[in-house]
Structure 1
Amino acid sequence: MQKIQLPHVLHLIYPTWRRPAQQALDCISLGVAFWLALALRLQNLWPRVLIESASLLPWMLLAVICLFPSLGLYRSLTRCSGSYTYYRLVASQTLLTGLMYLVWELKGESGFPRTSWLIFWNLSLMLLVGWRVLLRDGLLFWNQRSHPTRRQPVLIYGAGAAGQELLRALRQSPEFKIVGMIDDDPKLLHQELNGMRIYSPYQLPQLRHRFGCETVLLAIPSLSPMRRRRLIQNLEQDRFKVLTIPAMTDLLSGKAQVDQLRPIQIEDLLGRHPVQPLEKLLRACVYQKSVMVTGAGGSIGSELARQILALHPQRLVLFEMSEFGLYQIHQELTQRFPQAELVPILGTVCDRTLLERVMRRFQIQTVYHAAAYKHVPMVELNPIQGLLNNTFGTLHSAKAAIAAEVETFVLISTDKAVRPTNIMGASKRLAELVLQALAQEPHATRFTMVRFGNVLGSSGSVVPRFMAQIRSGGPVEVTHPEITRFFMTIPEAVQLLLQASAMGKGGDVFLLHMGDSVKIVDLARQMIQLAGYTVREPGHPQGDIEIVFTGLRPGEKLYEELLIQAEHLSTEHPLIFRAEEEGLSWHRLRATLEQLEAAMAIQDYEFIVALLHRLVAGYPANAPIHALLNSPQRQQVLV
Structure 2
Amino acid sequence: MSRSSRIKLPRGSLRSFGIVHDVVVAALAISLSLTLAFDSYALTHSWQIWAMIGGFTALSAAMFPLFSLNSGAWRYASLLDVVSIVKAATAINVVFLIANFILFRGEYFPRSAFIMTWFIMIVGLGGPRLAYRLYKERGLSERFFETASARERPQHILLYGFSDNADLFIRNARRSHHSPHIVGLIDPLAKNRRRQLHGLRVLGALDDLPEVVQQAEHGATPITQIIVTQTNISPADLSHVVESAAPFQIAVKRLPDISRAGGVDADKPIEALPVSLEDLLGRTEVELDTAEVARLIRGRCIAVTGAGGSIGSELVNQIAAFAPGRLILVDANEFNLYSIGKRMEVHHPSVEVVERIVDVRQADRVSRLFAEWRPEVIFHAAALKHVPIVEDNPLEGIETNLLGSRNVANAALSCGATAFVMVSTDKAVNPTNVMGATKRAAEAYCQALDLAGSGTRFMTVRFGNVMGSAGSVIPLFQAQLSRGGPLTVTHPDITRFFMTIPEASRLILHAAGHGLGAGAAEGQIFVLDMGEPIRITELAERLIQLAGLRPHVDVAIRYTGLRKGEKLYEELFGEGETRERTGRAGLLIARSRVSDLDLLRHRFAEAEEAVRAGDAARAVAVLRQIVPEFTPLSELPPAAIEGHSTRRLASPDAPTPAGD
TM-score, scaled relative to structure 1: 0.86
Compared CA separation, residues 621 and 491, structure 1 to 2 (3 A):
closer
Compared CA separation, residues 216 and 622, structure 1 to 2 (3 A):
closer
Q: Distance in 2 between matches of 1:98 and 1:328?
A: 71
Q: State how 1:82-481 maps to structure 2 within 5 Å.
A: 82=78, 110=106, 111-112=108-109, 123-139=120-136, 140-143=138-141, 145=143, 146=146, 150-173=153-176, 174-201=178-205, 202-211=207-216, 212-246=222-256, 259-359=270-370, 361-481=372-492
Identity %: 33
1:57 corresponds to: 57
Q: Secondary structure at the match of 1:434?
A: helix
Within the alignment, does 1:500 sit opposite 2:511 as a pair? yes
Q: Distance in 1 between matches of 2:347 and 2:101?
A: 61
- 1:68-93 Cα shifts (integer Å, max 9, x gaps): 7xx5944x444344456667767777
Compared CA separation, residues 489 and 94, structure 1 to 2 (3 A):
farther
Q: Is the CA contact (8 Å cut-off) linking 1:486 and 1:518 kept in structure 2?
A: yes
Aligned-residue offset at 1:289? 3.3
- 1:94-151 Cα shifts (integer Å, max 9, x gaps): 8877887787789788544689778756654443332122112212332563476521
Give, as a single letter, the amino acid of the residue that structure 2 aligns with 1:462. V
2:219 corresponds to: none
Aligned-residue offset at 1:285? 2.1
Q: Distance in 2 between matches of 1:258 and 1:423?
A: 53
Q: Secondary structure at the match of 1:379?
A: helix
Q: Distance in 1 between matches of 2:386 and 2:348?
A: 31
Compared CA separation, residues 298 and 34, structure 1 to 2 (3 A):
farther
Q: Distance in 1 between matches of 2:321 and 2:308?
A: 17
Moved more, 552-561 or 382-391: 382-391
- Note the residue ranges of structure 2 that are not aligned, 5 or more in a row: 217-221, 636-660
Moved more, 78-87 or 413-422: 78-87
Q: Is the CA contact (8 Å cut-off) linking 2:74 and 2:133 kept in structure 1?
A: yes
Give, as a single letter, the amino acid of the residue that structure 2 aligns with 1:365. E
Give, as a single letter, the amino acid of the residue that structure 2 aligns with 1:205. P
- 1:208-246 Cα shifts (integer Å, max 9, x gaps): 122222311011111122332233223324542211113
Q: Secondary structure at the match of 2:139?
A: helix
Aligned-residue offset at 1:454? 0.8
Moved more, 253-262 or 281-290: 253-262
Aligned-residue offset at 1:326? 1.5
Give, as a single letter, the amino acid of the residue that structure 2 aligns with 1:191. R
Q: Is the CA contact (8 Å cut-off) linking 2:242 and 2:546 kept in structure 1?
A: no
Aligned-residue offset at 1:60? 3.7
Q: Is the CA contact (8 Å cut-off) linking 1:416 and 1:424 kept in structure 2?
A: yes
Q: Is the CA contact (8 Å cut-off) linking 1:270 and 1:487 kept in structure 2?
A: no
Give, as a single letter, the amino acid of the residue that structure 2 aligns with 1:420. P
Q: Distance in 2 between matches of 1:44 and 1:267?
A: 76
Q: Distance in 2 between matches of 1:389 and 1:329?
A: 21
Compared CA separation, residues 611 and 99, structure 1 to 2 (3 A):
farther
Q: Distance in 1 between matches of 2:442 and 2:436?
A: 10
- 1:257-307 Cα shifts (integer Å, max 9, x gaps): 992212222122124223332232443423343322221111111111222
Compared CA separation, residues 525 and 9, structure 1 to 2 (3 A):
closer
Give, as a single letter, the amino acid of the residue that structure 2 aligns with 1:229. S
Give, as a single letter, the amino acid of the residue that structure 2 aligns with 1:141. G
Q: Is the CA contact (8 Å cut-off) linking 1:271 and 1:489 kept in structure 2?
A: no
Moved more, 420-429 or 527-536: 527-536
Q: Distance in 2 between matches of 1:405 and 1:384?
A: 30
Q: Distance in 2 between matches of 1:431 and 1:397?
A: 11
Q: Is the CA contact (8 Å cut-off) linking 2:366 and 2:408 kept in structure 1?
A: yes
Aligned-residue offset at 1:557? 0.7
Q: Distance in 1 between matches of 2:39 and 2:477?
A: 80
Q: Is the CA contact (8 Å cut-off) linking 2:478 and 2:543 kept in structure 1?
A: yes
Within the alignment, does 1:526 sit opposite 2:552 as a pair? no
Compared CA separation, residues 57 and 553, structure 1 to 2 (3 A):
same
Compared CA separation, residues 512 and 103, structure 1 to 2 (3 A):
farther
Aligned-residue offset at 1:28? 2.7
Moved more, 236-245 or 577-586: 236-245
Q: Distance in 1 between matches of 2:23 and 2:454?
A: 80
Give, as a single letter, the amino acid of the residue that structure 1 aligns with 2:541. R
- 1:579-632 Cα shifts (integer Å, max 9, x gaps): 1211212112111111111111112222222222222243126868xxxxxxxx
Aligned-residue offset at 1:312? 3.2
Compared CA separation, residues 552 and 102, structure 1 to 2 (3 A):
farther
Give, as a single letter, the amino acid of the residue that structure 2 aligns with 1:172. R
2:558 corresponds to: 548
Q: Distance in 1 between matches of 2:173 and 2:448?
A: 60
Give, as a single letter, the amino acid of the residue that structure 2 aligns with 1:222. N
Moved more, 139-148 or 288-297: 139-148
Q: Distance in 2 between matches of 1:204 and 1:106?
A: 69
Give, as a single letter, the amino acid of the residue that structure 1 aligns with 2:455. A
- 1:482-533 Cα shifts (integer Å, max 9, x gaps): 2111111112222222222222143331111212211112221221222233
1:586 corresponds to: 597
Compared CA separation, residues 59 and 301, structure 1 to 2 (3 A):
farther
Q: Secondary structure at the match of 1:155?
A: strand
Compared CA separation, residues 578 and 37, structure 1 to 2 (3 A):
farther
Q: Is the CA contact (8 Å cut-off) linking 1:73 and 1:88 kept in structure 2?
A: no
Q: Secondary structure at the match of 2:404?
A: helix
Compared CA separation, residues 617 and 400, structure 1 to 2 (3 A):
same
Within the alignment, does 1:570 sit opposite 2:574 as a pair? no
- 1:320-372 Cα shifts (integer Å, max 9, x gaps): 22111111122123212333333323222234444445445555332222111
Q: Secondary structure at the match of 1:535?
A: coil
Over aligned residues, Cα RMSD in angstroms?
A: 3.3
Compared CA separation, residues 79 and 432, structure 1 to 2 (3 A):
same
- Note the residue ranges of structure 1 that are not aligned, 5 or more in a row: 537-542, 625-639
Compared CA separation, residues 297 and 104, structure 1 to 2 (3 A):
farther
- Paired positions, count: 608
